[in-house]
Amino acid sequence: MINDFEGKVILITGAGKGKGRVLAEVFAARGAFVAANDISPINLNELVSRSRGRIKAYVDDVAKKVAAQAIVNQVEDDFGRIDILINHAAVEPRVALLDMDEWDWHRVLDVNLTGAFLTMQSAGRVMREKGLGVIINLITAAGPDSKNEAAYAASVTGLIGLTRQASLELSEYNVHVHALGVGIAEFQRADAGVPKKFVEAVMYLCRSSSNGQIVNVEE
């Protein structure tokens, strides 16, 4: 595999499972140093042990301000910078709107939306000082006929709006912000050249000079 991300420092939240884990492995294989965050150390142990020193674990809850700031500060202390932030941490409890407990509602928004905001803010400040950076928010939208996903659907719409606003505010610092996900075609605002497959699209956005792209991809 081509080492096209040699020496880059990439922070991935929710890296213990799913697409976050896939990306951690791909970036490490392409020469990057990956700061892998997850709320559970169990999810990261095997990932780190197989990485030959390319992946380091940062266990904490990004939904908490102090924790999110501590993660970013520790990554900067360890590697000197953060080149790319990928927000993948998310929860998706399936609870009917009329039965939903307030705790469920807040937990979804705290992790999916506030967590992304907190890491974007902290990492964005690091990137501003370096005059360069990329932030990608990963999303899987609730389907048009999905039920029991009111909180998750609200967090998706909020995160897309946050992405658009952040892309405007951070562009003057040469920090590019994008959202990428499955099932978000209704929000899409992307260049024609963006690949349709997930991993290839992430790699493309990390290298692209474009900004504020909202990209719908295939699984």
Q: Which residues make Cβ contacts (< 8 Å) with residue 63, sequence separation at least 6? A: 89, 107, 110, 111, 114, 115, 118
Query: Listing from the earlier edge strand, what are the strands of the sheet with 9-13?
Result: 55-59, 33-38, 9-13, 84-87, 133-140, 175-182, 214-216
Q: Which residues contact 168 (CB under 8 A, 6 or more apart)?
A: 212
Annotation says 58 is catalytic? no
H, E, C per residue of 89-142: CCCCCCCCHHHCCHHHHHHHHHHHHHHHHHHHHHHHHHHHHHCCEEEEEEEECC
Say which of 58, 152, 173, 204 is annotated catalytic. Answer: 152
The catalytic site residues sit at 152
